[in-house]
Amino acid sequence: MTVDVGNSSIGVVSWRDGESRLVRHAQPEAAAGGLQGAVAIVSVAPERLRRLLAALPAGARPRVFEQAPPDLGAPGLLATAGADRLAAALALRPGPGVAIDAGTAVTVDLVDGAGRFVGGFIAPGPSAAAAGLAARTALLPDLGGDVVPIAPGAETRAALAAGTWGLAVGGLDRLVEAALATLGGHGVRLVATGGWGEAWRRASRLSGIELDPLLVHRGILRWAEAG
């Protein structure tokens, strides 16, 4: 089993006989209840990881992955990148490719043609941007960054919803364009994952975007196999 402990949800994948099943949980204790046997884990939320490990049932054999295979990239870069980003990079090998993980934060990570992680971008997702704007203004509500048509709003709530989502889509397009330019733009895979990855793919002006909800989990498997 593979587990991706995120800030908003915890993804758990069961791998059996070539089949996979992804389940998302809001709370660590709920995620822990279904874990059994060998469990490979990456996390970007230390407290949620602590709660998950404390709630594991007897018989679960957890392994938390933090140190990436040394051939994945420069040591300094690997030491500072989040484990979810490293797992996504492993899943993209042999490269070149760009992983777009659209969650509370959105990460855009690059793997070159030699299969090495070369960095990327981290930005707020639409829900985080909406919450931040509401916290810094007196009259604007937190609309949660919902997916809406990108069209001018006739009143404040509609304008705010369209503006937040439009900025997320357009900003992410621009980051991916910069990633493509860095990698040369030819034969580069674009793979979207995360909670709003599919919605971005539909709204994006870019073409050739693959959708893989299991991208990070495929990388966790490779990580486990390598170490």
- Ordered per-residue pLDDT tens for the chain, 227 residues: 999 999 889 999 999 988 999 999 999 999 999 999 999 999 999 999 999 999 999 999 999 999 999 999 999 999 999 999 999 999 999 999 999 999 999 999 999 999 999 999 999 999 999 999 999 999 999 999 999 999 999 999 999 999 999 999 999 999 999 999 999 988 999 999 999 999 999 999 999 999 999 999 999 999 998 87
Report the candidate in 117, 107, 98 with the shortest Cα–Cα distance to residue 185.
Answer: 98
Contact 159, 141 (CB under 8 A): no
Mark whether 212 is an active-site residue: no
Q: Strands 19-25 and 10-16: what pairing?
A: antiparallel
Rg (CA), the chain: 18
Reported pTM: 0.92
- Residue tagged active-site, from 4, 17, 71, 84: 84
Q: What does the pLDDT read at residue 215?
A: 97
Sign of the dihedral defined by the CA atoms of residues 193, 195, 201, 202, in that order: positive
